[in-house]
Amino acid sequence: MDFKSRYGEWLNLINQSLEAYVQEKNTPEKSIYRSMRYSLLAGGKRLRPVLALAVCELLNGDMREVIPFACALEMIHTYSLIHDDLPAMDNDDYRRGRLTNHKVFGEAQAILAGDALLNYAFELMLSHALSEAGSTYKKTKAALVIASASGAGGMIGGQVMDIEWEGKRIEAEALEHMHKCKTGALIKAAVVSSAILCNAGEKELEVLEKYAEKLGLAFQIKDDILDIEGSAAVMGKEAGSDARKNKSTYVTVYGISQAGHLLDRTIESALSDVIYFGEKAYFLKGLAEYVAAREN
């Protein structure tokens, strides 16, 4: 199987699973499901769940065990976008090519839809952890990896720094730390949680962690470059929004040309990490190249 067809196959699998997990219900609180689905099923690259499935294939794991966790990762990512887009935060009107959640459902509903997606991610992981008593420990451990990555010491901590540092000049080191938390932590958790579910050995886990850290960094550098060079139509959100908000990015700190070099070096390093897995790493290699080449 080549990278591109596999990506398409897994995108479908994830989208179908997300659709099935969060269904519209005809209950008094039904509007919450509508607003959760609006953002969750709006497309997107599905980077985190795809990564989890890729690690599962690489390690010959059981896809049925990983899918709920892959979907939980996407729910957590989506909730963070909904809250990030709120007027009190980044105040963005477009996301994934459509109006942001609060623009359609109002701020109150958007706050609650985000809360509900975060909460549901845990409901989903916990109920799967209990589905077969023999694997509860392993699955609870995978859920904890994801919980730690998405909390105050990870993603939320990164969002806090992002807000506090708006309009301030920050050093390269602080920028890297912020992104390690804000986007890197959950990307790494996608890899590590799947590796735990698929019984990775110590060395395998070590290699995968290194790869994931570089992929997360490359993803962010590319994001910052796209914010300058990208087209709003392709990206599904407005370009130039970092500059408008006076945010420090890899481009403002390094300049566009140095940021490009840093991106290339990071991708090369990620590619060389996974040589360890030989041909089985075809997808992780393809994904690293895709992250660098993507236009949205």
Please give the residue ranges that form the binding site for its own copies (CB under 8 A): 27-29, 31-33, 36, 79, 83, 86, 88-89, 106-109, 111-112, 114-116, 118-120, 122-123, 126-127, 129-130, 133, 136-137, 140-141, 143-144, 147-148, 150-153, 156-161, 163-164, 174, 177-178, 181
Minimum gap (Å) between residue 76 Cβ and its own copies = 9
Minimum gap (Å) between residue 103 Cβ and its own copies = 13
What is the Cα Rg of the chain in Å?
Answer: 18
Minimum gap (Å) between residue 55 Cβ and its own copies = 21
Minimum gap (Å) between residue 187 Cβ and its own copies = 17
165 or 276: CB nearest its own copies: 165
Minimum gap (Å) between residue 238 Cβ and its own copies = 19
Cα separation, 188 vs 198, whole angstroms = 15
- Read off the tokens for 218: 């490359």
